[in-house]
Structures are given as C-alpha cells and as structure tokens.
C-alpha cells in the first residue's frame, strides 16, 4: 500500500476515534447534568417538605398556645362541662377522620392484644387528668401556672426516660434537669405553696408521652380515638345524669352549640398538624418549637387576662428558662436521624 494511502487511513482512524471520544464525553456530560438536576430537584423537594413541616409544627403549637382564648369564649360554662364535651365531640371528629382516611378498618386489629388495650386505658386516664386540670386552670385564672407546667414538661419527659426507659442523659441535660428542679423548688419555698397545677400538667403529659412511646401503642388518631371512646361512656353518663349545667348548655343557642362542637375540632386539628410535622422535620426542631405554646399561655395570662406574677414566681420562671436554654442547645447540637417523608 502506498505511503500516502497508509497516512490517509491512519488519519481517518484518528478522526473516528476522536469522534467516539467526543460522543462519549458528550454522553458523560449529559449524564452528569441529569444527575445534578435530579439532586437539585431532590434537595428542593426536601427543603419544601422541611418548610411545610416547620409551618405545620408552628401551627399546631400556636393553636395549643391560643387555646385558653377558645375555652373562655363563652362565659359561665364550667370546666367539667367543657371536659365532657371535649371528650364526646373528639370521638365524633376522630370517627369522621378515620373513615375518611380509610383507617377505620384497622381499629380492631390495633387492639387485638391485651397490652395495647391496657396501654390505651392508661393513656386515657392520663389525658383525662391533663385535660381536666388544664381546663380548670385556664377558666379559673391560673393560665400562668399552667404555662409553667408546659415549660418544664420536656425536662420531666427526659427524667421519665431515665427512670423508666433506661435512657442516658448527656452532662448538659443533667444540668438542665437539675436547674429546673431547683427553680420549681425555689418557687415553692418563696411563694409558700407547691405549684401543683404546673406539676400535675407536666407529669401527666410526660407520663402520657411515655405510654405513647410503647411499640404496641396504635397510631396517633386510632390511639386517641380509643382513649376518648373509653372516656366517652362515663362522660355521657355524667352529662345525662350527674352534672348540672351551671351556665350555657348545648342547645341553648346555635352559637353555644357550635362552640361546644368545636371543642372536638380544637382537640384533633392540632394533633393532625403535629403528626404531619413530625414526619417532615427532626424531633430536635419539634422540641424547640414546642415552647411556642407555653410562651403564648404566659403572654395571654399576663397581658390579656390580667393575671399577676409576683417577683418570686418570676424568679422561678427565669430559673426554668435558663434550664430550657441549656436543654435546647444540647438538643439542637445532638445528632438525630432525619425523618422520612411519606
């Protein structure tokens, strides 16, 4: 073969190889761009879900924080009557939700074991105690003391985890629990009375959370349905045969009836928001945002309903707040698994 032909053939092969390399580079570049776009879309979706979760949590805690306004909308209705209607209408609202979401079919399977039934009864008694004391407090000028109960609740939950679940505390958590205990003790000594409303609210809700952590506890809505259904029978008996209305009652007017029916909504709606939030954001973030509720309670008690705070009470609050700052810093810094978006 002539030398010129050989050179031409080699040049043709080089061009073909160069074209294959260019096509391969273009393909690799296209794949990289697609991968970057997919990652960008995933991060954008994750960020959007996180933002939704934060807003759901803020909405839930805000509703809980502003609930004293709701419970005082109709003067003259006693705490006992409010509690009865809260239980009964919660059953109605939860029934509608369970049917609408297709969870109604799973109720029987959720309570097959005696352990799940006993846990539900225990949770029902604890939530009954918490609701009863809270409703009495917010309708009898003790909103400030109720707010203290929910400020110290996270620290009570931590202590219960150590006692009953064998959880280990980090040094800063131990410090926070100790400071909060000292704050409540100082308040009791200087005021001359134990803040029993705060302690009952904190421990009843803390124990309620402890029961709900059990693996055999049903899902949130089914669990609350079981709890309120268990309480509904004695509540209905009390409504029909025992408790005499001290003020406005159901059926007196459309406004009063709507108010009492809404007691179920204000109970269930924030729970739904809270459940949606916990699926989208870390529990550490939920833990920080939960202070929205007692902060609103405190502000409402002092500025809207004119409750007084003595210097000794304020001192106790300040000590507890210091403990909460330490606890929040430790919680925020601690590694925690990201929730799965479903």
In the chain, the largest separation of any two C-alpha atoms, in whole Å, equals 118
Query: Which carries the bigger pLDDT value, residue 54 or residue 33?
Result: 54
Give me the pLDDT at residue 244, please: 78
Chain-centre distance of CA 206, in angstroms?
Answer: 12
Q: Over 70: is that where the pLDDT of 32 sits? A: no
* Cα three-residue angle 333-206-113, rounded to 5 degrees: 110
Spatial contact of 177 and 334, defined as CB atoms under 8 Å apart: no
Nearest partner of 148 among 315, 330, 329, judged by Cα: 315
Q: Who contacts 279 (Cβ-Cβ below 8 Å, separation ≥6)?
A: 53, 339, 340, 341, 342
| Range 32-70 burial, b when 16+ CB lie within 10 A, else e | eeeeeeeeeeeeeeeeeebebbbebbebbbbbbbbbbeb
Checking if the pLDDT of 339 tops 50, the result is no
Question: What's this model's pTM, rounded to 2 decimal places?
Answer: 0.79
* Residue 24 pLDDT: 61
Radius of gyration of the chain (CA): 29
Average pLDDT over residues 32-43: 55
pLDDT at 334 over 90: no
- H helix intervals, 72-142: 79-100, 107-110, 114-138
pLDDT > 90 fraction of the chain, expressed in percent and rounded: 34
Q: What is the pLDDT of residues 55-72, one digit of tens each?
A: 988 999 999 999 999 999
Can you give the pLDDT at residue 29?
Answer: 57
pLDDT in tens, 124-163: 999 999 999 999 999 999 999 999 999 888 888 888 888 8
């Amino acid at each position: 073969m002539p030398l010129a032909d050989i050179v031409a053939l080699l040049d043709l092969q080089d061009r073909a190889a160069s074209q294959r390399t260019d096509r391969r580079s273009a393909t690799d570049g296209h794949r990289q761009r697609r991968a970057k776009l997919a990652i960008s879309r995933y991060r954008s979706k994750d960020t959007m879900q996180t933002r939704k979760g934060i807003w759901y949590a803020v909405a839930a805690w805000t509703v809980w924080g502003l609930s004293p306004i709701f419970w005082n909308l109709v003067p003259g209705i006693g705490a006992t009557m409010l509690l009865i209607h809260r239980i009964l209408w919660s059953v109605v609202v939860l029934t509608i939700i369970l049917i609408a979401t297709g969870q109604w079919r799973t109720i029987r399977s959720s309570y097959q074991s005696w352990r799940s039934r006993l846990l539900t009864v225990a949770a029902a008694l604890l939530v009954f105690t918490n609701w009863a004391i809270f409703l009495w407090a917010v309708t009898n000028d003790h909103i400030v003391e109720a707010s203290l109960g929910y400020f110290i609740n996270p620290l009570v939950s931590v202590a219960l985890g150590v006692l009953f679940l064998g959880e280990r505390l980090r040094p800063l958590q131990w410090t926070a629990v100790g400071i909060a205990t000292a704050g409540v003790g100082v308040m009791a000594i200087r005021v001359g009375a134990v803040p029993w409303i705060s302690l009952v609210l904190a421990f009843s809700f803390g124990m309620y959370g402890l029961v709900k952590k059990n693996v055999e506890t049903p899902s949130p809505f089914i669990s609350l349905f079981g709890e309120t259904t268990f309480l509904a029978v004695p509540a209905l008996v009390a409504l029909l045969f025992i408790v005499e209305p001290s003020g406005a009652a159901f059926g007196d007017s459309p406004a009063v009836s709507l108010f009492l029916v809404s007691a179920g909504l204000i109970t269930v709606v924030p729970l739904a928001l809270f459940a949606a939030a916990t699926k989208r954001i870390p529990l550490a973030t939920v833990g920080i945002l939960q202070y929205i509720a007692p902060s609103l309670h405190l502000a409402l008690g002092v500025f809207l309903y004119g409750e007084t705070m003595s210097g000794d009470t304020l001192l106790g609050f300040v000590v507890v707040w210091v403990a909460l700052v330490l606890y929040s810093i430790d919680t925020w810094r601690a590694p925690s698994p990201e929730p799965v978006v479903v």
